[in-house]
Structures are given as structure tokens and as C-alpha cells.
Amino acid sequence: MLRFAILIPIYNRLAVTRQGLRSLTETLQQYTRSGNQTCHFDIVVIDDGSTDGSSAWIAEHYPAIHLVQGTGELWWSGAINCGAGYAMSQLQSDYLLLWNDDITPADNYFLEVEKLFLQHNPQNMVIGSKILVKEKKDKVWSVGGYFNRTWGRYGLYTDPGAGHDGFFDCDWQPGMGTFVPVAMMRKYDLRWDDKLFPQYHGDSDFTLRCKRKGIPVKTSLNLVIYNSSETSGLGRITDLRKLWLSLTSMRSNYNVKKRLVFYRRHGVMPLFYWGLGSTYLFYVGSFFKRTYLKKPPQPTVLQNR
């Protein structure tokens, strides 16, 4: 039997965590009731110093969940490292499954996991899921990521294109719905870089490093999860203060310092500055266009009857 550890970092959002754990456990129960399981799934929640009673609530309502306590300074990468260490040493897991407390799996998600791992036996590859937007379930959020080392183009695919069988190559995977084989972790002594990338880019940095070591990074379109766009990051940027915060905060994907460090590690200088500069020109330009160049509302014209 294959053993999977589902790693879920949490911090002070109990209402979101409740909903996420409910949808995850209900889907796992459906898988268990299907019979003939060849996969076992442990849930490992890493609580990085929550003060809202999250750990106590989980211990009371989900006693089978493994709780790992953080210091309050782990951030995402540090929490994943703690959870991975626990899964590898205490649970003897074969695979790690990166998860968030605000995502929902499709009803057949774990049945599809079983089919995939029996068919491909992917002991030497990183595999990501197809991620849809929870609020608009026909909208694709990600089918894996791309990074052009020369020109610095960096982002998420939303269309896999033609010429594949639903299982295709990409450059990196986000930190949700992503399977990492423990055997590869041990062979290459892999860890998430919680020093340079404690929050954003920790996922893409890890999987890009995997690929550079020759580990295939793939996406399976049959593994479908739903990501909430309303509970991620800093929310909508509506004024100059929030724009500045988005360029400097550790909670922002557009933190200039961290993104520059990321490009220096994975890009080919100096041409990658073209992609980096284009990203921020578009990001800041879109903010000003959206915020200050809005067309004034037009007066309503009443038609004569």
C-alpha cells in the first residue's frame, strides 16, 4: 500500500480551516467507501503558532489528524519542511501531497490519484494537479508553471495546449495539489528553502531545483482541485499604500526583493531582467489603469416611449 501525507500549513484563520478540512475529509471518506484502496492518506496539519484556537478545535473534531506545532516564524516553506520531516520520520510516507486549507478536491480526486499512481508508478517525478477557481469553476487557475531562464518569463499555464494525453511536462508546480516522492527527497537531500523564500516562490524554487536535478515535473489533468481566490495573498490592491505593500510585503507574490533573488538563482543574467522588468511594468501599469483611469459612469439616457 502506498502511503501519502497531506501537508496543510495553517495560521489564524479557523473559519477557513474548518471548511477546508471538512471538504477534504468528506472526499477522503468517499474514497474509503469505494473499496479496494491501494493508497492510505494521512493528514498532517502544521499550525504555525495560531492564537485563534485552531489546534484545539482540530484535536477535538478530527482526532485522527496529525498536528505539528510551529514557532510562529515558520511561514509556508518552514511549515512544509516541518510537516515533511514528520511524515518521513513518523509516518513512513511514500509521497508528500502539498495542500492548503482553502482548497477543495473534486469528488473523484483520490480515486484519480489511485489510478494515476498505479498506472505511472511515479516514484521519480513531481506531479501537480489541475487547479480551477472555486468561485468560477469553469476558469483554470493553473495547470503547472513555466519559467524561461533566458528571458525571465515566469508564471502559470492556464491552457496545456494540444498534443498530450492529460499528463504533460511543465517547469514548476505551485504549493497545492502537488505530489513529491519521499525517495527523491532522500536521494537528493531536498528541502524547501525557508531562508530565501519563506513564503512566495518557495514552491516554484523547490520544483525548479528538482527539474534541474533531472526529476521530471508534470501535471495530471485528471487530478482536479478548486482554489479560493478570495482567501489568498493581500487581496485586491485598491490604493497606493496597498500597492507599496504588495511590492514589499512577505505576504505578496510581487515582493521585489524576493523575486529578484529568485531570478538570480534560476535565471541567466543579464537577459532575465527583460522579463522581470516587463512583469513589474505590467503589474504597476495595470494598477494605475484600473484605479485612476477608470471611465466616469455615463448618465442614463431615457428613451421616449
Q: What is the CATH number of the domain that holds 194?
A: 3.90.550.60
For residues 19 and 110, state if they share a domain.
yes
Note whether 133 and 248 are same-domain residues: no
Residue 234 pLDDT: 55
pLDDT over threshold 90, residue 23: yes
Task: Say how many domains are in the chain.
Answer: 2
Q: What is the pLDDT of residue 45?
A: 98
Within a domain: 164: yes
Q: pTM of the full predicted structure?
A: 0.91
Domain membership flag for residue 145:
yes
Domain residues for the domain of 124 are 2-227
- For residues 154 and 276, membership in a common domain is answered with no
**Is the domain of 39 the same as that of 132?**
yes
Interatomic CA distance for residues 234 and 232, integer angstroms: 7
Residues 287, 196 share a domain = no
Q: Give the pLDDT confidence score for residue 303 in this predicted structure.
A: 41
Q: Say yes or no to pLDDT of 182 above 90.
A: yes
- Local structure of residue 218 (DSSP, 8 states): E
Residue with cell 466616469: 296
Whether residue 78 is found in the same domain as residue 141:
yes
Spatial neighbors of 128 by CB under 8 A, at least 6 apart, are 142, 143, 144, 170, 173, 174, 177, 178, 179, 217, 218, 219, 220, 223
Same domain, 156 and 278: no
Task: Return the pLDDT at 118.
Answer: 84
Residue 304: per-residue pLDDT: 40
> Are residues 52 and 18 part of one domain?
yes
| Alpha-carbon separation of residue 255 from 6, 125, 251, 262 (angstroms) | 28, 30, 8, 11
Q: Quick one: 202 and 261 in the same domain?
A: no
Same domain, 120 and 266: no
Give domain status of residue 269, yes or no.
Answer: yes
pLDDT band of 170, cuts 50, 70, 90: very high
Res 168 pLDDT > 80 = yes
Stronger pLDDT, 117 or 293, i.e. the higher one:
117
- The Cα 69–Cα 48 span in angstroms is 6
For residue 14 the three cell numbers come to 479557523
